[in-house]
Chains A and B, each alone.
Chain A
Amino acid sequence: MSRPEHLAPPEIAKLLNLPPNTTCYILDIGCGSGLSGEIIEEEGHVWVGMDIAPSMLIEVALECEVEGDLFLQDIGQGMAFRPGTFDGAISISVLQWLCNADHSSHNPKSRLTRFFSTLYSSLRRGARAIFQFYPENDAQCELIMNVAMRCGFEGGLLIDYPNSKKAKKYYLCLFAGSQAGKVEMPKALGEDEREVEDDVDDEPSQVAYSNERIKDRRKNSSKQRRKSVKDKDWVIHKKEVARLRGQNNVPADSKYTARNRKPRF
């Protein structure tokens, strides 16, 4: 099962880099059925979710009894929160939809600008916003990054498992102003494998590479080393045959027959 909408990546909580043992106020953009909200809840934070699909929200609100507050909202129209409200924001598989123009009045760039600028102001200084998304192409990535930077965010793109088609994941990590000095970008998963496995496999995936089989074959061969065909029995048999054929220069058999000569240098 590799349907991303069913699995909220737990590492997203790690990327947010919230202060330990404090309850924070988190925004979940495009919360859908509230899966990522549940993860936030487990970490002990209070959250607010928003989505554009009313069916999802009503289903969640009525059946699942989530803790967070839900909003029916089009994020391209901006957020309606006071400045400095949230300690962090997450969003899973949402950002790419902002690049679509589903309506004649939609202009992706202005919608992105409206989204990022209102998000920036609703975040506390030093808060982080983590977006996991599926860009269609590099141009989309670039557009999103450009708009975010222009709205005042710092940060960058993080790509987990950059060489794998399946496990590859894009995270946009944005910082709404830094707390002190330089902010360090979190590290992507699966990047180090690249050097090691470059020559072995062009597509490292999440499954660890194992050379068990190759080792196995080697082990077998060393165990039952192939016996030489030309052993003593074979030599004696050959000489016997030669004698029967009447060849007269066949050497006599002795304990030295078919022995290796000692090594000489």
Chain B
Amino acid sequence: MRLITHNMLQCHVKGCNTNNFPLELSEIEYELQETEFNPQFLRNFVPKLEWDALVRTAMKLGITTLPDKLPDTPIQEIDEKFLKDLHRVLLETHIQQGRMTCPNCQHVYPIKDGIPNMLLNENEV
């Protein structure tokens, strides 16, 4: 699972509607896989991101290339270097093993072979 998708994930246990984002990562193994750099896609995607959550998650994995705050410049003028760093974090960082824990209800979603298990128990639906 790439970090771009992690930034979109929230807990979907029934009744867990507040403070259910971002899912806390722990015991993580990750690897880097190179993919094509697509600045246009990233520019469009930046407004969708929860920046603070992304920075915190990246910190947890030991990635410190991202600035604490989004640059103030309009999206179309964001410089290439920033986008390259973002590309590396969002699209090339693949979480292979680990656990995601909901900060609210403490539900644990295990990640195995890069595939998060999002199945819920019956009483959680």
Residues in A lying within 8 Å of B, measured CB to CB: 22-23, 25, 46, 48, 50, 52, 54, 57-58, 61-62, 67, 69-74, 76-82, 84-85, 105, 114, 118
Contacts and interface: CB of A to CB of B under 8 A. Distances in A.
B113 A58 contact: yes
A78 B20 CA distance: 15
B7 to A, nearest CB: 8
A73 B9 CA distance: 13
A54 B1 CA distance: 15
Given A71-B115, A72-B115, A72-B116, A22 B44 contact: yes
B125 A85 contact: no
Nearest to B33: A65
B10 interface: yes
B103 interface: no
A193 B1 CA distance: 46
Interface string B36-62: 001011001100101000000000000
B12 A72 contact: no
Contacts, number: 76
A72 B1 CA distance: 11
B117 A72 contact: yes
Contact of A73 (B48, B118, B122, B125): B118
B21 interface: yes
A35 B79 CA distance: 36
Contact of A69 (B5, B119, B120): B5
Contacts of B8: 48, 81-82, 85
Contacts of A114: 125
Given A82-B9, A85-B8, A85-B48, A72 B119 contact: yes
A79 B13 CA distance: 10
Contacts of B115: 54, 57-58, 61, 70-72
Most chain B CB within 10 A, of A50, A77, A118, is at: A77
A84 B48 contact: yes
Given A23-B41, A48-B5, A77-B12, A67 B118 contact: no
A107 B24 CA distance: 32
B25 interface: no
Q: Which 7 A-B pairs have CB atoms at the shortest separation, nearest pair first? A: A23-B41, A80-B12, A73-B118, A69-B5, A85-B8, A72-B117, A70-B115
Nearest to B102: A80
B23 to A, nearest CB: 9
B119 A77 contact: yes
B48 A72 contact: no
Contacts of B12: 77-80, 118
B114 interface: yes
Contacts of A76: 125
Contacts of B10: 80-82
B35 interface: yes
Interface string B12-27: 1000000001000000
Nearest to B1: A69
B52 to A, nearest CB: 14
A207 B48 CA distance: 46
Given A23-B44, A72-B117, A67 B35 contact: yes
Contact of A77 (B41, B91, B113, B120): B120
B2 interface: yes
Contacts of B117: 54, 72
